[in-house]
Amino acid sequence: MDTGTTGAAPPRVRLGRYGEEVAARYLREQGLEVVERNWRCEHGEVDIVARQGGCLVVCEVKTRRGTGFGEPVEAVTVTKAMRLRRLAVAYVRAHDLHPEQLRVDVIGVLCRPGQPVTLRHVVGVGS
């Protein structure tokens, strides 16, 4: 796995950045426009904000090296999904946007050593 990053970031941080790069590339390949990454406010952080037509998509990316604790997307609990929904609304308000639709997605990126990276995209969590 080449993360494309240098420096002294801990392996977990490098893995997370790599997963976000993979997810952003995937979203672009699916025809979405990535409009912002790592947006922060007092309520938390949004990994990726994208647009698909009139729909604003707030994306949480979970990256793992294995499935010892389940698939990466399983790390997003109902509570986390509700928090992501609140973050999505905060993003819309902070940017004075009026999207036709607002959606929260989760992308799980699995980076098993010696195997190709796999990705799972769950559309519309917490709706």
Mean pLDDT of the chain: 91
pLDDT of the residue at 110: 95
Longest CA span, the chain = 45
In a domain, 6, yes or no: no
pLDDT of residue 12: 82
Residue 6 has a pLDDT of 53
On whether residue 80 sits in a domain, the answer given is yes
Note down the domain range covering 52. Answer: 11-122
Kindly state whether residue 71 falls inside one of the protein's structural domains: yes
Least Cα distance to 23 among 48, 58, 52, 57 occurs for 48
Asked if 68 contacts 48 with a C-beta cutoff of 8 angstroms, the reply is no
The answer to whether residue 127 is domain-embedded is no
Q: Which residues of the chain register pLDDT less than 50? A: 2-5
Q: In this structure, is residue 72 part of a structural domain?
A: yes
Q: Which residues pair with 98 in a beta bridge?
A: none
Contacts of 106 (CB under 8 A, 6+ apart): 59, 60, 61, 62, 73, 76, 81, 121, 122, 125
Q: Residue 98 sits in a domain of what CATH number?
A: 3.40.1350.10
Is 2 within the bounds of a domain?
no
Report how many domains make up the chain. Answer: 1
Task: Look at residue 58 in the predicted model and tell me its pLDDT.
Answer: 97
